[in-house]
Structure 1
Amino acid sequence: MANRGKRYQQAVALISPEMEYSLEEACDLVKKTSTVSFDASVDLDIRLGVDPRHADQMVRGTVSLPNGTGKEVRVLALVNESKQDEAREAGADHVGLDDYIAKIEDGWADIDVIIATPDVMGKLGKLGRFLGPRGLMPNPKSGTVTMDVADAVKTVKAGQIDFRVDKYGILHTSIGKISFDASDLKENAEAFLQTVMRLKPASSKGLYVKSVFMSSTMGPSIPIARTAVTSL
């Protein structure tokens, strides 16, 4: 703690080391323990009892947060000309195909989500080494490969998030901003956690949810009781 600032130490003092909090308590507390002057993100980190090295234990999905993410999502629609007007009218920030593929190959990645139609995925294969590590590769499971481009763009813009467990069995996601009301953060957290619970792999043995923490950007972690998650 010696290297931490005074504000951070004051924030940590508000969290009891012996307690695990309910979702409602954590959402109230995360607002009180934010230590930065900007509108920080509120994050959830969940350690799952899965082994992602096995395909049947990979936990991945999407969820539409009822109160949005609080972030302006930059959407690129990689579609043929017949779908480009549809994408623009739905609110996509960037629309095109070969021109944007060339930009991405040159290192451009100033976007948050890419939506593509199935008929162009053959062209995107060569972008895997650029888009894969950034989590930007379109995927049918996340709803970003579809012929209904307008609906996909609107859904992403409205607050749909895509999540995937990492190689250590941990899920990291943002559920909103510190400026949100605590009740809105709670609703978003519940929507995300309910989705995670529904995605429990049949092959997962023992504890599925091992630990859950909530924090704000550069703020201390708040432990959440497992029962607050497993009871959803």
Structure 2
Amino acid sequence: MAKKGKRFLEASKTFNRDELYSTTEALDLVTKMASAKFDETVEAAIKLGVNPKHADQQIRGAVVLPHGTGKSVKVAVFAKGEKAKEAEEAGAEFVGADDLAAKIQQGWMDFDVAVATPDMMGVVGKLGRVLGPKGLMPNPKTGTVTMDVARAIQEIKAGKIEYRVDKVGIIHAPIGKVSFGVEKLRDNFNTLLETLIKAKPAAAKGTYLKSIAVSSTMGPGVKLNTQKAATLDKE
């Protein structure tokens, strides 16, 4: 287990780690405890009552956070002809087809999100072993395989994030930066949580929202009262 830093340990002493807080209280604690010299990212960890081993309980998708993520995102688009032109006009940093794929095969990965038109998936599919492990493979479920490349790029630039349940049923997602302040972080968190509640699979039995914690990059996790959070409380 990694050794915890002095700041982390000091911050941990400022609140009760076993207490369950409201969304606002938790985010207030997280922002106050952030002491790094950079603008820390705030992340939510949401444990769901699903069994990811079953295909009908896999939860994956994307959501546009109302206040964005605070991160500038580089977009690579696989497209040809008019769609390539459309992607360039919409602000994609990198646009190409076989040439872009060849560059990635050689180890170039200077982008955060990849988008592809459906007709390019034959080319993109060959990059599965490179893009897959990094979570960069375009996917129709997250809106990154589409003919409407302009809209996809605009949403990504506006703060669209992808989410996917991991092997133990937890979704980790960024909800903004410490500098956003509590209200904007709460708006982003509530948008994410509402999306996940709507995505509940019919096959999921028992308690769906098992536990929720929020933390900053360098700070300890603060646990939320899941029932209160589920009402998208504004307190």
* TM category, shorter: over 0.9
Matching residue of 2:221: 221
Matching residue of 1:56: 56
How far off its partner does 1:136 sit?
Answer: 0.8
Residue correspondences, number: 230
Matching residue of 2:37: 37
Is 1:207 aligned to 2:185, yes or no?
no
Matching residue of 2:174: 174
User: What code does the residue aligned with 1:200 have?
Assistant: K
* Contact 1:63/1:161 (<8 A) preserved: yes
Name stretches of at least 5 consecutive residues in structure 2 with no aligned partner: none
Q: Could you tell which deviates more after superposition, 3-12 or 191-200?
A: 3-12
* Contact 2:8/2:219 (<8 A) preserved: yes
Query: TM-score when scaled to structure 1?
Result: 0.95
2-structure distance, mates of 1:48, 1:200: 9
Matching residue of 2:231: 231
2-structure distance, mates of 1:7, 1:113: 32
- Where 2:133 maps in the other structure, the secondary structure is coil
Matching residue of 1:140: 140
Matches within 5 A, 1:39-188: 39-188=39-188
2-structure distance, mates of 1:92, 1:5: 39
1-structure distance, mates of 2:35, 2:9: 10
- Where 2:84 maps in the other structure, the secondary structure is helix
2-structure distance, mates of 1:47, 1:99: 41
1-structure distance, mates of 2:6, 2:219: 12
* Contact 2:17/2:222 (<8 A) preserved: no
User: What code does the residue aligned with 1:184 have?
Assistant: K
* Contact 2:69/2:159 (<8 A) preserved: yes
Matching residue of 1:191: 191
Matches within 5 A, 1:14-33: 14-33=14-33
Q: Deviations over 1:144-177 (max 9, x none)?
A: 1111111110110000111100111110010001
The percentage of counterpart residues that share the same residue type is 52
How far off its partner does 1:35 sit?
Answer: 2.9
1-structure distance, mates of 2:120, 2:87: 15
Q: Deviations over 1:122-152 (max 9, x none)?
A: 1111111111111111111111111111111
How far off its partner does 1:229 sit?
Answer: 2.8
User: What code does the residue aligned with 1:115 have?
Assistant: V
User: What code does the residue aligned with 2:50 have?
Assistant: V
User: What code does the residue aligned with 1:24 have?
Assistant: T
* Contact 2:142/2:162 (<8 A) preserved: yes
How far off its partner does 1:5 sit?
Answer: 4.2
Q: Deviations over 1:156-200 (max 9, x none)?
A: 000011110011111001000111121000000000000011111
Q: Deviations over 1:48-92 (max 9, x none)?
A: 111111000001111100000000011001101221221111110
- Where 2:123 maps in the other structure, the secondary structure is helix
2-structure distance, mates of 1:5, 1:143: 39
